[in-house]
Amino acid sequence: MTYAGWHIEQLKLTGKGDEEAVLDFAAGLSLVYGASNTGKSFALKALDFMLGGQRELPNIKEREPYDKLWLDIAFSPDHKVRLERAIVGGPFRLHEGEDAARTLAPKHNANTPNNISTFLLTQMEAAGRKVSVDASGTHSNLSFRDIASVVLTDEIAIQSEDSPIESGDTNVKTRERSVLKFILTGEDDSAIVPVVKPKDFRTGRVAKASFIQDMIDQINADLSADYPDTDGLADQNDRINDTLRRIENEVSAARSSIRTLLDQKRTLSVEISAAERRSTEIALSLDSFEKLEEVYASDISRLESLEEAGFLLSLDGRSDCPVCGAPPDAQVHSHGLAEIEDVRVAAETEVQKIKQQRSELIRTVEDTKTEGAKLIAEVARLRQSLRDVELKLEEATPSESEQQRQLSEVVSVRDHVRRGLDLLAQRDRLIKQKEEIEASKPPKVDGTVQRGLSTETAKEFADVVSEVLLAWGFPGQKQVVFDLSTYDLIIDGKERRNNGKGVRAITHAAFKVALMLFCRERGLPHPGFLVLDTPLLTYRDPMKKPGDRLTLDEQEMRNTDLKQRFFEHLGHLGEKAQIMVFENVDPPEDIEDYCKVEAFTNDPDEGRQGLL
């Protein structure tokens, strides 16, 4: 991280008229001091309010003329913004460069940049980071409010016996420590895999066991209603399976027989059809043969007439011409005997030839009639066989239907028995699952995961605190240890919280200053500014509060030049940090040489009376 650190330049209140209250801050050290009830605490609360605080500002009489707050921040010399917010709260208006003002929501939302928290985290390059909120590693989004509690320290927190980075609320202690780890290391907790919390685990275990028991109770109710003899279900299932196998074999055999008979019926039907077609063909052939016989008889009669005419012509020429039929008187030509003889011989030859064909036709007719008679007998035989097959099919079909009905009934009973067995098996599984759930133990947190600060980081930070205390002239050896159990300091063998409130205040301040310097020197995620309210509580005047006497450790520190060295050290940090101190005690005489000083006199006739 290479950003230069922020500078809070100005806090301003404005009213509807010309009312205006301005508090300017230097880039290094700024001191606002004065009497009580002059607005120092109000100014610190206003700073917090303008950095996303949700707590309403004190409704004091002095604020009545004002309705708006303004905060000028320089994130770098080239990047300055102004935040505007109504004094009663609500969203922010961001004025940034030449861009039009835009609205920022007051509450953090990691899924959008349009809120004050994400906007400020983005300037720190810390947007989207995760921090653990419990020992189980449950994640939550880092908010700028987590950072604000580190850089803004009020009068109550600086005197507290709690760690300087803890509010005292045990519900957020893990979160606060995770934030410190992020600031000191730059590493968030997004890589840590959360485990179930023991309390959540036990609650979930009871809920799961109860849910499973409800399922077991429902199964027991179903078994009680439908299966009075659950012990005999397994044997009943075996018997049903044997019966099913027998019926299935019988059905299979019946179906095989029926398929055979159907094949026979199909074959017989085909053969009958073929025989009947052949019989029809024979009948048609015989009809044709009969017509051919008539043709043969007619041809033989005509040819025999020609032969006889030739013979007669050869005996007597005074007769009708056998060739043309002309009577003797009408014959104008003569036929030679040789020609007549040729006709007669040809007719006789043709007659013999037709008679031969006629003889062959007679044999064919006889053969065809014989085939037809055989086909008639074959068709009769085939039809009888078909009737026999159909009779067997009629006998087999009811048997197969009955077997099918029996099979359906047995399957129904089998399914009922199987459901009972399934319920028993399911109940056994649920009982085992419930026993496992009840015997389960919460997952252990992985001790190998570094969830907090490492010893090395804690030592390095403690060394920086020691350097700060040395620079301030804190009494003692300044031997500082960071206690990883309390996330607080042990100074010269004494826990910080066991000191008087004045010593707690200055060591709290040393913690916060050291934290800022540690981060700036290492480029770690710190805004680079710090606000401290009454860190020099030890230098209070006990006479103003009867009974508020200094403790021995406070008196020892008061007798040192710590106040002088405190301001000198902070005032000469240069560009390392911006520090704003709100105090009640008077500052050193030469402080204005290295610090911007704003005094609230509480006197209208002398200097600035107060903030408002």
Q: Is beta strand 139-141 parallel, antiparallel or unpaired with respect to 130-132?
A: antiparallel
pLDDT band, residue 582 (cuts 50/70/90) = very high
pLDDT band, residue 491 (cuts 50/70/90) = very high
Q: What is the mean pLDDT of residues 148-158?
A: 95
Q: What is the pLDDT of residue 316?
A: 52
More confident residue, 504 or 393: 504
pTM listed for this prediction:
0.65
**Cβ atoms within 10 Å of 550's Cβ, excluding its own:** 19
- Tracing tokens 């077991």 back to the chain, one arrives at 216
Integer Cα distance of 541 and 610 in angstroms: 21
Q: Which neighbouring-strand residues pair with 407? A: none
Q: What is the pLDDT of residue 543?
A: 46
104, 91 contact by CB (below 8 A): yes
SS3 state at 131: strand
Q: For residue 328, what are its two tokens?
A: 């003797």
Residue 296 above 80 pLDDT?
A: no
70, 14 contact by CB (below 8 A): yes
Q: Is beta strand 29-34 parallel, antiparallel or unpaired with respect to 20-24?
A: unpaired
Q: For residue 361, what are its two tokens?
A: 């036709």
Q: What is the DSSP string of 398-467?
A: HHHHHHHHHHHHHHHHHHHHHHHHHHHHHHHHHHHHHHHHHH--PPPP-TTS--S--HHHHHHHHHHHHH
pLDDT band, residue 427 (cuts 50/70/90) = very high
Q: What is the pLDDT of residue 197?
A: 72
Q: What is the mean pLDDT of residues 112-135?
A: 92
Q: What is the mean pLDDT of residues 107-116?
A: 93
- Tracing tokens 């610190």 back to the chain, one arrives at 44
**Cβ atoms within 10 Å of 569's Cβ, excluding its own:** 20
More confident residue, 244 or 155: 155
Integer Cα distance of 129 and 140 in angstroms: 9
Q: What is the mean pLDDT of residues 524-530?
A: 93
575, 11 contact by CB (below 8 A): no
Q: Which neighbouring-strand residues pair with 283? A: none
Q: What is the pLDDT of residue 299?
A: 78
Query: What structural domains and CATH numbers belong to the chain?
Result: 7-195+452-600 (3.40.50.300), 230-439 (1.10.287.2610)
Integer Cα distance of 357 and 104 in angstroms: 124
Q: What is the pLDDT of residue 32?
A: 96
Q: Which of 147-156, 210-219, 332-341 has the lowest mean pLDDT?
A: 332-341
Closest C-alpha among 11, 5, 50 to residue 30: 11
pLDDT band, residue 373 (cuts 50/70/90) = confident
Q: Which residues contact 141 (CB under 8 A, 6 or more apart)?
A: 108, 110, 128, 129, 130, 131
- Tracing tokens 């720190």 back to the chain, one arrives at 124
Q: Which of 31-40, 140-149, 179-188, 410-419 has the lowest mean pLDDT?
A: 410-419
Biggest CA–CA distance in the chain, Å, is 197
- 551 HSE (CA, 13 A, CB side): 10
Query: What's the angle, vertex CA 63, arms to CA 69 and CA 581, rounded to 5?
Result: 65
User: E strand or H helix at 360, and its extent?
Assistant: helix 337-439
pLDDT band, residue 333 (cuts 50/70/90) = low
